Amino acid sequence: MAIHKIKFFTGRNSRYLAEKIVASYGTTLGDSEVLCFSDGEFQPRFNESIRGCTVFLIQSTFPPTDNLMELLMLADAAKRASAHQVIAVMPYFGWARQDRKDCPRVPIGAKLVANMLQAAGIDRVMTMDLHADQIQGFFDIPVDALYASGIFIPYLRSLNIPDLSIASPDMGGAKRANSYAKLLEAPIIISHKERAKANVVGSMTAIGDVEGRNIVIVDDMIDTAGTICMAANMLMDKGAKSVRAAITHPVLSGKAYERINESALQEVITTDTIPLNPEKDTHKFTVLSVADIFADVIERVHNYKPVSPVFFK
């Protein structure tokens, strides 16, 4: 089977991660630029031939709007430049929380994004820790949904935490927490929350043994950090020895950094799918890179090797 030449490109806000991924793969980024107009319109451009190439576009969609549009336009440009195949590497998939109609007269944003990516000419998507695994079914193209547990589990084992328990910050994350608990041979705790409104938690309680445990809360993202901080404080109030968090996507909007620094959280272990704000106090954060995982999967996909060995839940 013929293997086409591979080229990597990135959007503007994901260059920091794209450079790590291509370095891990053993190559460099292709030459591209974005022409910006005074009204906010922009035009991506490839400055080298990609005819007949397998093109990997590395772009996390944070904040989602401009970065998604840039990815769509890069894909369209690649197709029009006769690329053999266009693969979107989206470490953070924006709009993933909108995976269903949870109230009347609202969109299903994740499905809309899937439709737009396919309409733009994307042939395959690689992402990590989707908010809901069923989003893969919104696509009619292959989706490689990777798991950050592949880097979180070894790190947590290296800490040799005694009396370890794994916690979910809500009922929706119970499956993820259970996977971590099995791999770490630790008991599980489920936090039950009631939301007053979007991004605002009304009340919270814990299901499971908390007293005397060193607890790691696992989740796919931190946005305003309201839930995770409330859970950490609640668990400490119930007698936990310590509380850490292992969160894949550090969205960290609003006063999230301040809430984390004021909370009972001892450490927040996260990844570089989204960069931390360099102007904020990040002394509680430990950042693990996803570059090697994505580079490995890219190599396997490009050379028609099985991807299943990388899936570490």
Query: Is-catalytic flag, 193?
Result: yes
How far is the CA of 194 from the CAs of 123, 132, 198, 209, 301, in angstroms?
Answer: 40, 19, 11, 20, 42
Of 86, 16, 19, the residue nearest 46 (C-alpha): 86
Angle subtended at Cα 45 by Cα 15 and Cα 55, rounded to the nearest 5 degrees: 65
**What is the spatial distance between Cα 231 and Cα 6, in angstroms, rounded to a whole number?**
45
Which of these is catalytic: 5, 101, 193, 197? 193
In this structure, the number of other CB atoms found within 10 A of the CB of residue 272 comes to 18
Specify the DSSP class assigned to residue 93: -
Give every CB contact of residue 308 below 8 A, 6+ residues apart in sequence.
Answer: none
Which residues have a catalytic role annotated?
Answer: 193
